Structure 1
Amino acid sequence: MSRTPPRRRGASRRAGLGGVAGVLGELLLTAGVLLLLFLVWQLWWTDVIADREQTGIVQSLQQDWGEVDGERVAPRQDGPPPVPEVAGETMVFGTMHVPAFDRVEFPLAEGVGLADVLDVKGAGHYPQTALPGQVGNFSAAGHRNTYGRVFEDIARLEPGDPIVVETAEAFYVYEVTEALIVQPSDVEVIAPTPGRPGVEPTARMLTLTACHPMFSARERYIVHAEFAYWTDRADGIPEALATAAGAAAGEGR
């Protein structure tokens, strides 16, 4: 009578380990797929949704404000610029034009909350900082990646580059003075007099803030700009935007 040889203990253990390894491999593969889907959603799909929403916001504003004659260069106005009324929290009150950016126009809303402003509406105005055209430091934050990434190209800005804020009444033209990298705790960059808390402001300034480096919130990339001039929206577009449009047309030939 033949006997079935007993199964070796080592072989049984190897089979058990092989089964555990197989399950672990499947779990890792599933986790990898989920991570990839998350990255696709975070890095691409949030941009698709935000771009759609922000484009709709800009179009709605233009309809409410009336069209601007893009063929006419508005003269620079004398005297202090008009200061828009304080917008309600999360409300869009203007747009920002940055000719040096790939995306040259995007909405500007009140507040810097992620879920209700920066993730859905574009750039956000820091409450308690100056308003466009006002003496002080008009400060705005924006994403550098994901959710429309309105400040993605912030590191391109160089001294003299224009940043233009548009409201229902006017265009406010600021010109870049400097860029710097700071720690998130260095909030004095948005002080009324940038970098000098407690000092009474005498100039009209603008500050942009974004996370740095790309895909990280370890530091902040800061751009300061100084008010140059303003134009009446009813008169056409400011020279800064007309020059940028002309340069873009020339490059396209």
Structure 2
Amino acid sequence: MAGRSRATVTSVLGELLLTAGVIVLLFVAWQMWIGDVIINAQKNAEGAATIRQWAEAPAPEPPPLVEEADGTTSYALPVLRHPADGQRFAIMRIPRFGADYAKDIAGGTSRARTLDRIGIGLYTQSKMPGEVGNFSLAGHRTTWGKPFNQLDKLKLNDAIVVETPDGWYTYRFRTLEYVKPTEVDVLDDVPQMPEQQTGERYITLTACSPLYSLAERIVAYGVFEGFQPRADGPPASLAPVEPATPSL
């Protein structure tokens, strides 16, 4: 009787451990794949709702035109105030990532307040869209909707568009590299050149790499192309392109 009792206790314990293991695996599957799909769609829907709200509101007065050194004219660039931590201020749109890609950008890069809850975060020292220097952002490459999952799929000259109530700031992708987490000079006004001032406007997108690891950072760089006020309608840079395949 005692032997059978011990065997029964052992069997029950084994079944409990097996069940616990299955539950853990199901949770991991949910967190890494199923939940990610749902969260990604939810965050795109939130961004799309904001875009509709801006589109339905009266368009702000376009900024004045200014003459460039080459004799051409362009709009004076409206520069936004630096947002508070967790404050949403713009929508990221990248046609290469799909027509429905519309991710909120908010101040700060903490996981709890911005990256997990909202999506894309603005570094504290970052410049703002269209401002001379480096408009630098962080986002997840896996989990929590993984807004920067496909950074490695960007192609030369791909549009990176930042939409605000005033209009659209278009940057063009230039290059990609992988750096150590300690190489924070990628966030300098001129990336990796702290002593230089070029008067150019850059965008830098950062995420952890490789997938499911914190060992490195993947960094995508772009340069500013132009600003289009909302009164002129969406820019040509938002035209659809062949979408990239998500990284697993």
Tell me, yes or no, if structure 1 residue 225 matches structure 2 residue 222: yes
Distance 2:193 2:6 in 1: 64
Separation in 1, partners of 2:234, 2:149: 25
Look up the equivalent residue of 2:53 and give its one-letter code: Q
Residue 93 of structure 2 corresponds to: 97
CA distance in 1 between counterparts of 2:218 and 2:24 reads 28
Q: Which amino acid aligns with 1:39?
A: V
Matched with 1:147 is 144
Q: Which moved more, 1:152-161 or 1:97-106?
A: 97-106
Structure 2 Cα separation of the partners of residues 106 and 28 of structure 1: 40
1:180-191 to 2 correspondence within 5 Å?
180-191=177-188
Asked if 2 retains the 8 angstrom alpha-carbon contact of 1:84 and 1:167, the reply is no
Deviation of 1:40 after TM superposition, in Å, equals: 3.4
CA distance in 1, matches of 2:29, 2:157: 37
Identify if the C-alpha distance between structure 1 residues 41 and 233 changes in structure 2 by more than 3 Å, giving closer, same or farther.
same
CA distance in 2, matches of 1:237, 1:221: 30
Structure 1 residue aligned with 2:65: none
Uncovered stretches (5+) of structure 2, i.e. residues with no partner: 60-71, 244-248
User: 2:17 maps to what in 1?
Assistant: 28
Q: Distance in 1 between matches of 2:131 and 2:224?
A: 9
Match of 1:66 among 43, 52, 56: 56
Q: Does 1:133 align with 2:123?
A: no
SS at match of 2:95: coil
- Is the aligned partner of 1:45 residue 2:41? no
Distance in 2 (alpha carbons) for counterparts of 1:18 and 1:220: 51
- Distance in 1 separating the partners of 2:139 and 2:57: 26
- Aligned match of 1:123 in 117, 120, 124? 120
CA contact (8 A) 2:43 2:104 kept: no
Distance 2:190 2:13 in 1: 57
Moved more, 223-232 or 82-91: 82-91
1:159 correspondence with 2:159 = no
Query: What is the CA-CA distance between 1:123 and the residue it aligns to?
Result: 1.0
- Number of residue pairs matched? 229
Unaligned runs of 5+ in 1: 1-6, 70-75, 249-253
User: CA 1:122 to 1:169, structure 2 compared with 1: closer, same or farther past 3 Å?
Assistant: same
Q: 1:56 aligned to 43, 46, 62, which one?
A: 46
Secondary structure of 2:96's counterpart equals coil
Amino acid at match of 1:96: M
Structure 1 CA distance for aligned equivalents of residues 18 and 107 of structure 2 = 43
TM-score, length of structure 2 as denominator length: 0.81
| Deviation for aligned residue 1:16 | 8.4
Aligned AA for 1:215? Y
- With over 3 angstroms needed to count, the CA separation of the structure-2 counterparts of 1:59 and 1:77, relative to structure 1, is farther
Matched, 1:88 2:84: yes
